[in-house]
Structure 1
């Protein structure tokens, strides 16, 4: 066994592709993954942050602001997903009214 720690995620397949990153505290950013390390620190280029709803800070709005080149600390990264190939679906666990 090698002394090098491997990350849980294999981010090599996402390099130079669009990713969506959710961070602790409710922030959500999309951009092109340019690099990463074993601590899950991410470098994103052409990053765009989705602004949060002033009434409910846990929800994001359609409003965005450009950030450019950013580094996301690995301790703050909660979720990394590709931008291409993902669709939002209806929650299958919500019970219809009257059930």
Structure 2
């Protein structure tokens, strides 16, 4: 490796002090203001909220939340980090396709 410096695939510095949503191993999802991170993707979120799971389907996240405040997410548990700005939910195109085939 020339230069001896490894570049991160994700430039987290541009998300500091902005809203992010994080998916964690095991299906939990949290969002908040990114306050800090390290090279292992341990992240610190302020004003964090957790999106609660559907009691009938634990892998499905609902719109219900609970306030967590200031939290640290361990990097080994982080599976996805996404900015909340510009994020919107869309209909699942595969579900529509499956429903059409059943008729």
Q: Return the TM-score normalized by structure 1.
A: 0.88
Q: Matched residues in 2 for 1:60 and 1:4: separation? A: 39
Return 5+ residue gaps in structure 2 as ranges.
none
Which of 93, 96, 100 is the equivalent residue of 1:97? 100
Q: Which residue of 2 aligns with 1:6?
A: 7
Q: Which residue of 1 aligns with 2:51?
A: 50
Q: Which residue of 1 aligns with 2:81?
A: 80
Q: CA RMSD in A?
A: 1.6
Query: Offset of 1:4 from its aligned partner?
Result: 4.5
Q: Matched residues in 1 for 2:65 and 2:92: separation? A: 25
Tell me which protein shows more helix as a share of its residues. 2
Structure number with bigger Rg: 2
Q: Return the TM-score normalized by structure 2.
A: 0.85
Return 5+ residue gaps in structure 1 as ranges.
none
**1:23-53 C-alpha deviation (Å, 9 max, x unpaired):** 0100000000000000000000000001111
